[in-house]
Structure 1
Amino acid sequence: MKGLQTAILAAMIIAAPATSQDIAEGERVFQHRCASCHGLDADGNGPMAPVLLLQPTDLTQLQRGNGDDFPLKKVVWRIDGRDPLVSHGSPMPVYGDFFEGSDVTLQTASGEAIMTSQPIADLIAWIQSIQK
């Protein structure tokens, strides 16, 4: 039985898509899709911020606000819409459809695999690169 489990695990690892994240592309996606609310510097001070009921998060502080661990799963799920949100008055619009693309696997610090699209993986790489 142990040999079968090892073979299945090895097949899953081989079948998992390789993750290659492009920080420059992530910044481009951010500037095009996110900066109007989160600001050019991702500090939550975008031009739309004053008219929003809930203020945008300072994306440069995500790691600091989570015990120095980047909250990968929470951020991916918030962007792609898997985090349960109400349709109006939610902390962020659901942008999952805007970020469709090839599926990739990201891995949390605890080793959990998170499936998402390539554009979101690139965006996450850029957000991780700007943590203070």
Structure 2
Amino acid sequence: MTSHRPALVLALLLVTAGCVAPAPDHVDEPDATGEEIYQARCAACHGPEGRGDGPLAQRLDRRPADLTRLPGGADFPRAHVMGYVDGYFRDDAGEVMPQFGPEMAEGQLVPYDIGDGVMTPTPAALIRVADYVESLQAK
């Protein structure tokens, strides 16, 4: 007698996976735009428009930052955004947000001046994400 149990379990797994499909955790970063990287890696928590209202935000102990209103006065806090995404520096909230530096460092590095006059090899994907987050700022 053949058991249909393995087929049933597989069918249930496929149906369940289809109902709760997570955001993709990988994009082809060398060719991806900042928006594509953001949507794949950040939107689940920060929301598709960056307001901190993504589908996973309710499950977190601390609400994700509203990326449309970053502090910094008239100047966009690019160094802070890039350092936070990369994981270079974090405050106590850093344990909630994953560090994306290791994955982004696997892509192309380009000379980049963060504003201190020093050209530093920086992941191109990280620059594109920061540019995209800057475009989300409320005008």
Partner of 1:81: 87
Higher RCO (CA 8 Å, separation ≥ 6 residues): 1
Q: Does 1:106 align with 2:112?
A: yes
Render the CA deviation track for 1:104-125: whole Å, top value 9, x for unaligned.
2333455455542011111111
Aligned CA distance change for structure 1 residues 116 and 85 (closer, same or farther; 3 Å): farther
**Bigger fraction of residues in helix:** 1
How many percent of aligned residue pairs carry the same amino acid? 35
- TM-score normalised by length of structure 2: 0.66
Partner of 1:120: 126
Q: Does 1:59 align with 2:72?
A: no
- Which blocks of at least 5 consecutive residues in structure 2 are unaligned? 1-31
Q: Equivalences for 1:1-132 in 2 at 5 Å?
A: 25-62=33-70, 65-84=71-90, 90-100=95-105, 101-109=107-115, 111=117, 113=119, 115-132=121-138
Q: How many residues align?
A: 106
Render the CA deviation track for 1:62-111: whole Å, top value 9, x for unaligned.
1xx2112111111111111111456x872521111221211123334554
Larger radius of gyration: 2
Aligned CA distance change for structure 1 residues 112 and 69 (closer, same or farther; 3 Å): farther
C-alpha distance in 2, partners of 1:114/1:43? 30
Amino acid aligned to 2:87? G
